[in-house]
Structure 1
Amino acid sequence: HRGARMGPEALRIAGLQEALIGRGVEVHDLGNLDGPRNPWQAPQAGYRHLDEVVAWNQALMEASYAQLRAGRMPVMLGGDHCLGIGSITAVAKYCR
C-alpha cells in the first residue's frame, strides 16, 4: 500500500515532467491530490471503504473538471482503479 502511494513521487524523481517538456508538452504539476486515508476494513454489504471511495472520487472529479475548464488535459498518476469514476465523470461533464 505504501509503495503505491509513492508512485507519483517516483515518476517525478525519474524525470517524467522533464521528458514531457522535452517533447513540447506544457506541464503544470499541481502536486498530489490529498484525500481520505483508506483504513483496512472488511467489506460491508460487498463494498470496502465506500465513504472514502466516494470522497476521493468527488475530489478527483472537481480537480479534473477545473483543469478541463482551464483548457488543460489532466493526467492522473497513481491511485486505485476506482478513481476512474471521478476522472471519467469530469470528462463527461465537460463534454456535455
Structure 2
Amino acid sequence: MVSTTTVKNDELDKYLKMNIEDIYKQSNPLPFWKHHQHKFPCLSLLARRLFSIPVTSAAVERSFSAAGLAVTERRSSLDPDTVNNILFVRSIQNLLERNPDFFS
C-alpha cells in the first residue's frame, strides 16, 4: 500500500522536474493547475486554494477601524485580551446581521 505522503512527494518531484510550457508562464497560475489537475491532483488542489485567496487589505483595515472604536481615550488601558474579545463579539454580531442563519 502506498502512503499519501509518498504520493504527494512523487507529485512534487514530478512537478519540480517538469519543463513548463511558455503558454503557462503568466501572472495567473490557475490555468496551468486546471490543465494539470489529473497529473498533480494534490498539488493542483493546494494551488487552487492558495491562489484563490483574495488579495486585499480591506478586512484588516476594517479590523483596525473597529479596534479604534473600541479603544477610546477613556478606555485606553483595556487589556489586549479584552479588546480581542470585544472585536470578536462585534464580528459575530455583524456576521449574524448579514446572515441570521449562519450557525443553523
Same fold? TM cut 0.5: no
Provide the TM-score with structure 2 as the length reference: 0.28
Q: Quick check: which has more Rg, 1 or 2?
A: 2
Normalized against structure 1, the TM-score is what? 0.30
